[in-house]
Amino acid sequence: MNAITFLGNSTMIPSQCILRAFSRISPSKYIRDTTFRSYHSRFSSCINQYSNANSDRIIRPTNAVPFCTDRQSSVTAQVVSEARSLSASTTCANDTTLDQIYTKNGLNVKPLVVERLKGHEKDEEVVNGDDKSVNRDGFEGAKSNNVEDEAWRLLRDSIVTYCDSPLGTVAAKDPTDTMPSNYDQVFIRDFVPSALAFLLKGESEIVRNFLLHTLQLQSWEKTVDCYSPGQGLMPASFKVRTLPLEEDKFEEVLDPDFGEAAIGRVAPVDSGLWWIILLRAYGKITGDYSLQERIDVQTGIKMIANLCLADGFDMFPTLLVTDGSCMIDRRMGIHGHPLEIQALFYSALRSSREMITVNDSSKNIIKTISNRLSALSFHIRENYWVDKNKINEIYRYKTEEYSMDATNKFNIYPEQVSPWLMDWVPESPDSGFLIGNLQPAHMDFRFFTLGNLWSIISSLGTPKQNQAILNLIEEKWDDLVGHMPLKICYPALESSEWHIITGSDPKNTPWSYHNGGSWPTLLWQFTLACIKMGRPELAEKAVTMAEKRLQADRWPEYYDTRDGKFIGKQSRLYQTWTIAGFLTSKQLLQNPEIASSLFWEEDLELLESCVCVLTKSGRKKCSRAAAKSQILI
């Protein structure tokens, strides 16, 4: 549960709705550009109105304490100089003082307000997803069925509002659950399938609000034990809280969790990546590119990108993260360079490259992004890929090779090729997958579904690899799909491995939850990957199977056992991303042409620069013809 408690009941209807908006960035902390310093007074006027109920956890808008730290930021002056200032505290929409404040601040930027559509512009009311729904974009109207009707009703029921406008969906809404923990919050990653379901239905307001409000949360200061993570970090989740004011009035505030309250105190690295991916999807589906062109949104993209692209000690182009920094948000031995993060990182960088407005000040970041994309895809395609032949090669590896020309670059001891893998890897050269993680002397050979699916969707893998991953899923259907699509990872950690790697986590016992449980929310991503590779029938098979059980089982978060037969031991019911994932899958299958705007094809320009960079560096290993031919297949 969240450590900060506010007085008041979150279900209370505020008699007066107050929207708080805060400065994105404290100039004294992040700007060395003297021209910007002259704006000090504007930022320092902000007052922190939140009580710090827990000294371990401090959340506040950055401008509440504008001059308190001197931490250097990777955010470049160029990015910051595009930052926009927002007012300190202001009343909700319809209040003309908002415009005045912005004019007074002298910045030619659009204020972030909950932008209400005028009556006639509003999406037409949709009841239970039936055919009265708006289909502004001309999608083929599909006949709904019972299961879909219920799913739409539940999805709409999970909507959270802020200042009377829809803002997101709670993670789960089981009416019988008296201890929702933080499942009553809006999670960034969980909202993505909800957002797509709404966008595909022609309803964009909730998604637009979500993107703009979470952007505001990005610049809050977040601290655990006097230490702050980098600017640009997006929260894992947030909650709309209602605070009492004097005279029976209430205000609503957003209370984000950046990991400082989360179990394990892990920063959600994937949140910002998902935010960027969703922003691109919003533009593609609605055709409204003005949102991504806004200065504040452009700054938000660059802050996330800068945080991820910051130089460190790492020798790999992959992103170095702690355990549990993504969908698997508990200890599962995925610290280092887990595939899931790399695939989302690649997708977010490709999205950013498309969305960042090209001008003199953005040239450098676009170049940095392109270089990273090339290096990342080369590294993953070369080093994460396994099929029968590659496993055999690793099985025969020599070790302790000190040289630039080493075959066994990461000094992998062949004993790591465990018996399950030798049995499991398909005979066919047309089947294979990307391994879960790669570190010095460590290959994590487990199959992680989300990472493999996003490698297909983003073209992180070669076209041949992408096809081979789907072949593997088809061949290993009983293991990876079983009674409920899809296994989060395969196989489960058992016995001493479970003890040591999970820290004896009772929620992650073998074949449960993150440790080999089956997660229906993965269905929409599987559907997208199948449509991309021209195999929609595979997705249809999985959706049909899920449809038979989800409603009767009350839309569980996850399933347990080796073949996903049981509803998960501690699984929430009426889990929103299960519901939304199902609806999104259905809509994608009905509208494959829209689905095609959500994935990426191979980018030959990126491949060329990869080969070129490698050739220039003069490292024989990297420019070998074999690598090039694999990449270009």
172 or 610: whose CB is closer to ligand GLC?
Answer: 172
Contacts 24+ apart (CB under 8 A), 391-394: 391/417, 391/421, 391/422, 391/425, 394/443
* CA–CA dist 191, 211 (Å, integer): 11
| 100, amino acid identity | Q
> Residue from 257, 329, 444, 479 that binds ligand GLC (CB under 6 A)?
329
Residues 249-268 within binding reach of ligand GLC (CB under 6 A)? none
Point out which span in 110-118, 185-193, 287-295, 500-508 binds ligand GLC (CB under 6 A): 185-193
Comparing every residue's Cβ against ligand GLC, the nearest one is 171
Q: Please report how close the Cβ of residue 512 comes to ligand GLC at its closest, in angstroms.
A: 12
Interacting residue with ligand GLC among 42, 57, 189, 201 (CB under 6 A):
189
Q: How far is the CB of 327 from ligand GLC (least distance, A)?
A: 4
Place of tokens 């699916």: 453
Q: Which is nearer to ligand GLC, 166 or 568 (CB)?
A: 568
| Shortest distance in whole angstroms from residue 290 CB to ligand GLC | 30
Other beta carbons less than 10 A from residue 118's beta carbon: 6
Question: Minimum distance from CB of 376 to ligand GLC (Å)?
Answer: 23
Contact 419, 375 (CB under 8 A): no
CA-based torsion, 619, 621, 623, 624: positive or negative: positive
Nearer to ligand GLC among residue 198 and residue 558 (C-beta): 558
Shortest distance in whole angstroms from residue 253 CB to ligand GLC: 21
Phi, psi dihedrals of residue 14, rounded to the nearest 5°:
-70, 135
Q: Which of 488, 566, 495 is nearest to 520 (CA)?
A: 488
327 binds ligand GLC (CB under 6 A): yes
Task: Give the shortest CB-88-to-ligand GLC separation in angstroms.
Answer: 32
For ligand GLC (CB under 6 A), the number of binding residues is 6
For ligand GLC, which residue of 184, 190, 203, 387 counts as binding (CB under 6 A)? 190
Nearest distance, CB of residue 238 and ligand GLC, angstroms:
12
| Token representation of residue 343 | 């695939």
CA distances in angstroms from 57 to 10, 227, 228, listed in the order given: 21, 10, 11
Spatial contact of 529 and 588, defined as CB atoms under 8 Å apart:
no
Pick the piece of the chain touching ligand GLC (CB under 6 A) from 63-71, 182-190, 218-226, 378-386. Answer: 182-190
Identify which of residues 141 and 506 has a Cβ nearer to ligand GLC in the complex.
506
- Tell me how far, at minimum, the Cβ of 288 lies from ligand GLC, in Å: 27
Cα distances from 153 to residues 148, 149, 176, 315, 428, in angstroms, run 9, 6, 17, 49, 45
Q: Which of 19, 114, 171, 217 binds ligand GLC (CB under 6 A)?
A: 171
Question: Per rule CB under 6 A, is residue 173 in the interface with ligand GLC?
Answer: no
The residue assigned the tokens 């449809």 is 547
Q: Which is nearer to ligand GLC, 184 or 296 (CB)?
A: 184
Report the residue number, 58 or 546, with the smaller CB distance to ligand GLC.
Answer: 546
| One-letter amino acid for residue 77 of the chain | A
Instruction: Rule CB under 6 A: say whether 186 interacts with ligand GLC.
Output: no
Q: Smallest gap, in angstroms, from Cβ of residue 330 to ligand GLC?
A: 7
Match 């809050």 to its residue by tokens. 220
Q: What angle do CA 482, 487, 493 make, to 5 degrees?
A: 110
Q: Binding residue for ligand GLC (CB under 6 A) from 22, 43, 152, 187? A: 187
Q: What is the Cα–Cα distance from 479 to 464, expressed in whole angstroms?
A: 22
- The nearer residue to ligand GLC, 221 or 329, going by C-beta atoms, is 329
State the chain's maximal CA–CA distance in angstroms. Answer: 77
Per-residue three-class SS string for 186-226? EEHHHHHHHHHHHHHCCCCHHHHHHHHHHHHHHCEEEEECC
Can you read off the two tokens belonging to residue 422? 């030798």
Q: Quick one: 283 or 568, whose CB is closer to ligand GLC?
A: 568
Residues that bind ligand GLC (CB under 6 A): 171, 187, 189-190, 327, 329
